[in-house]
């Protein structure tokens, strides 16, 4: 069969079930696409072709394998997540090590029949939202290589959007699993903290880190998340929780007040945000304007205060010995932790707790938020001139989510008419609303009709039912 450009899980499953495709045939197509793709910065390391073929052949030969939930599905892993047999670099060659086993989430996916293709590029130590802070190069937006792909999970997003794999794992502490989705016309799931194990993940801010999932559709991403999720006794931050429901009708969704809108002068992005509001309203939702100020203040704590010290904690010894081996911007951000005292950290925690109390009543007024994933998209040239300011701008609507213990799903939100670049919106809900939120995200994505990834192909799966 002729495979579509986007390797959607639902479409591959159908082809496998009909006997039109085998994993061995699929990986030949995947390996050809990987070799031909023009952006060499997507991958940091690759599973050897012979090993990919061996894995596919083993699945093809096993009569029980087709019953596995991710049978024959190709995927990629951000290179701050361990995969046995490949170095973990966190985009810093001096830091690289060879793990003895795969991260818990990676092993669960492999056990479910998925086929690992390789490790993807990232902003070094997952510190950035631009995808350009890596000695391995800067993966570019799949729609225009003059623009950033978004970070820190840059390579993972590009690998999916370009049709090289069906899904990819990233991480998301400040927006790294959402911003690249928005810039590459994908779905990006930022799960509830602790829902997916972080054992085998190089910490950025360990108390806030989440493993994220990129895919073409909310249904695909949700399927992957369900396989990867589960309590892990080896992860001190792993947790269980009762599912948080969302109303099936009459959904109330929070939107930005005019005074809180920040789009960096990108009028087309603002118009596309308004269009998303109109679409969700047409689907039966009710838009509720709210004061974003307290959420913005919470977001500012992540990089603008002593919380940056948590980025130093897991690599303190390495930083002391190898600071000069790091990306200069990343080194400066993490090194700023030394300016803060333990008392400063506690003061920031007290302020965050107060903001949690201030923002909590808003969740009685609405069920979910609908926010821009990012105010705008920036070019490589502009970023070089203002690397810190523009990175901060991209996190305007993402940085607060983990601090306030929320879950989020980024979905495509249309394209700018002037340059053809995508815009994304993000749905945000209380912790453990992940499955219900995926249903809302799926309906919103399908209402747009713009498809997924570079090819903008229609979504293959039937609407997600939750």
Q: Give the model confidence (pLDDT) of 136-194 as tens digits.
A: 999 999 999 999 999 999 999 999 999 999 999 999 999 999 999 999 999 999 999 99
Can you tell me the distance from the alpha carbon of 124 to that of 317, in angstroms, rounded to the nearest whole number? 17
Burial group, residue 20, by CB count within 10 angstroms (0-12, 13-18, 19+):
exposed
Can you tell me the distance from the alpha carbon of 386 to that of 393, in angstroms, rounded to the nearest whole number? 11
What does the pLDDT read at residue 305?
82
Q: Within 13 Å, how many C-alpha atoms sit on residue 182's CB side?
A: 36
List 176, 197, 217, 238, catalytic entry: 176
What does the pLDDT read at residue 449?
86
- Report DSSP letters for 11-25, one per residue: HHHHHHHTTS--HHH
Say how many domains are in the chain: 1
Can you tell me the distance from the alpha carbon of 191 to that of 427, in angstroms, rounded to the nearest whole number? 12
What does the pLDDT read at residue 462?
61
Q: Is 152 a catalytic residue?
A: yes
Can you tell me the distance from the alpha carbon of 238 to that of 258, in angstroms, rounded to the nearest whole number? 38
Alpha-helix runs per DSSP H in 313-408: 316-322, 328-335, 342-359, 362-365, 380-385, 387-394, 400-403
Beta bridge partners, 147, equal: 379
Q: Name the DSSP letter for residue 75.
A: E
- By the 8 A CB rule, do 184 and 150 touch? yes
- By the 8 A CB rule, do 43 and 118 touch? yes
In Å, how far are 172, 235, 304, 400 from 336, measured between CA atoms?
21, 28, 10, 20
How far does CA 419 lie from the centroid of its chain?
A: 24
In sequence order, the 6+-apart residues with CB closer than 8 A to the CB of 34 are: 43, 46, 117, 118, 164
List 152, 153, 166, 225, catalytic entry: 152
Q: Report the CATH number at residue 250.
A: 3.90.1300.10
Neighbours of 300 (CB within 10 A): 16
Can you tell me the distance from the alpha carbon of 33 to that of 16, in angstroms, rounded to the nearest whole number? 20
What does the pLDDT read at residue 465?
47
List 78, 102, 149, 190, catalytic entry: 78
Nearest CA-CA partner of 412 in 271, 216, 199: 216
What does the pLDDT read at residue 450?
86
Can you tell me the distance from the alpha carbon of 42 to that of 214, in angstroms, rounded to the nearest whole number? 14
Q: Give the burial string for 110-142 (b: 16+ CB within 10 Å, else e).
A: bebbbbbbbbbbbbbbbbbbbbbbbebbbbbbb
Can you tell me the distance from the alpha carbon of 1 to that of 216, in angstroms, rounded to the nearest whole number? 20
Q: Is 226 a catalytic residue?
A: no
pTM of the model: 0.97
What residues make up the domain containing 104? 1-466
Can you tell me the distance from the alpha carbon of 75 to that of 59, in angstroms, rounded to the nearest whole number? 15
What does the pLDDT read at residue 463?
61
Nearest CA-CA partner of 224 in 399, 68, 431, 100: 68
- Beta-strand pair 115-120/74-78: parallel
Strand positions, DSSP E, 240-382: 252-256, 286-290, 368-372
Residues of the chain below pLDDT 50: 465-466
- By the 8 A CB rule, do 173 and 210 touch? yes
- Beta-strand pair 167-171/115-120: unpaired
């Amino acid at each position: 069969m002729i495979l579509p450009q986007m390797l959607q899980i639902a479409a591959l499953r159908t082809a496998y079930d009909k006997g039109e495709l085998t994993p061995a045939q699929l990986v030949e197509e995947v390996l050809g696409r990987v070799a031909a793709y023009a952006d060499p910065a997507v991958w940091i390391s690759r599973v050897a072709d012979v090993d990919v073929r061996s894995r596919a052949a083993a699945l093809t030969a096993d009569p029980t394998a087709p019953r596995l939930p991710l049978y024959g599905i190709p995927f990629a892993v951000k290179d701050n997540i361990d995969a046995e047999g490949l170095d973990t670099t966190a985009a810093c060659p001096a830091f690289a090590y060879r793990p003895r086993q795969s991260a818990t989430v990676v092993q669960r996916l492999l056990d479910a029949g998925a086929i690992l293709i390789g490790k993807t590029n990232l902003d070094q130590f997952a510190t950035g939202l631009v995808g350009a802070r890596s000695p391995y190069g800067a993966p570019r937006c799949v729609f225009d290589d003059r623009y950033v792909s978004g970070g820190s999970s840059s390579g993972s997003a590009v690998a999916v959007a370009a049709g090289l794999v069906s899904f990819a794992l990233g991480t998301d502490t400040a927006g790294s699993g959402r911003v690249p989705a928005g810039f590459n016309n994908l779905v990006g799931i930022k799960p509830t903290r602790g829902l997916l194990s972080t054992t085998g993940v190089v910490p950025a801010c360990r108390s806030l880190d989440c493993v994220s999932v990129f895919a073409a559709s909310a249904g695909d991403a949700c399927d992957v998340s369900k396989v990867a999720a589960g309590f892990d006794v080896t992860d001190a931050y792993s947790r269980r929780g009762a599912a948080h429901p969302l109303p099936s009708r009459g959904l109330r969704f929070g939107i930005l007040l005019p005074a809180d809108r920040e789009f960096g002068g990108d009028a087309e992005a603002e118009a596309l945000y308004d269009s998303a509001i109109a679409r969700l309203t047409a689907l039966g939702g009710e838009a509720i304007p709210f004061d974003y100020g307290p959420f913005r203040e919470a977001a500012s704590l992540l990089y603008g205060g002593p919380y940056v010290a948590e980025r130093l904690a897991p690599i303190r010894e390495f930083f002391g010995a190898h600071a000069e081996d790091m990306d200069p911007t990343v080194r400066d951000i993490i090194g700023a932790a030394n300016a803060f005292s333990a008392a400063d950290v506690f003061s920031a925690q007290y302020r965050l707790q107060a903001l949690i109390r201030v923002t909590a009543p808003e969740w009685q007024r609405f069920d979910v938020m609908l926010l821009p994933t990012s105010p705008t998209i920036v070019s490589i040239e502009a970023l070089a001139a203002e690397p810190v300011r523009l990175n901060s701008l991209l996190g305007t609507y993402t940085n607060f989510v983990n601090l306030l213990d929320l879950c989020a799903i980024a979905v495509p939100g249309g394209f700018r008419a002037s340059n053809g670049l995508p815009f994304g919106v993000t749905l945000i809900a209380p912790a453990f609303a992940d499955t219900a939120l995926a249903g809302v995200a799926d309906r919103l994505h399908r209402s747009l009709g713009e498809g997924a990834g570079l090819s903008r192909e229609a979504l293959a799966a039937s609407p997600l039912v939750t």
